[in-house]
Amino acid sequence: MKSFKGGKTVFTFPPQPFKCGGAPQKIAYLSEAYWRKSGVRENTTMNYYAQGPALFMPKHYGDLLNAIMKKKGINVNLNMNLHEIRPKKQIAIFKN
């Protein structure tokens, strides 16, 4: 986080089960706040990819979280599963 100077970022909500459904979003929010305070945010494109049809269920909470993402300028992509990462080319491949 400290060495990041801006660019494109990818945050994902993976399909496997885990205890905290909000954890994948929390790191995106924390990163956005840190980069805003450190002056890097204006040079950063943030992308969030969720495996389901909504950011969070029930839909009411998903709609609220979608509004927060929009306010923070985080691009939301739904129904997208991370399939492959090619680190040398800095490419993330998703399946819809």
pLDDT, one tens digit per residue, over 17-57 is 777 878 889 999 999 999 999 999 999 999 999 988 888 88
**Helix 23-38 vs helix 59-72: angle between axes, to the nearest 10 degrees?**
20
Regarding beta strands 74-77 and 44-50, do their DSSP bridges make them parallel or antiparallel, or are they unpaired? parallel
This model's pTM is above 0.75: yes
Residue 43 lies in a domain: yes
Residue 54 lies in a domain: yes
Residue 60 lies in a domain: yes
- Listed residue (44, 41, 58, 49) closest to 24, CA to CA: 49
Residue 71 lies in a domain: yes
Q: 73 near 46, Cβ under 8 Å? A: yes
User: Domain total for the chain?
Assistant: 1
Residue 73 lies in a domain: yes
The domain that holds 46 is classified in CATH as 3.50.50.60
Task: Locate 55 and state its tokens.
Answer: 């950011």
- Identify the domain containing residue 24 by its residue range: 7-95
Summarised one tens digit per residue, pLDDT across range 58-95 is 888 889 999 999 999 999 999 999 999 999 999 999 99
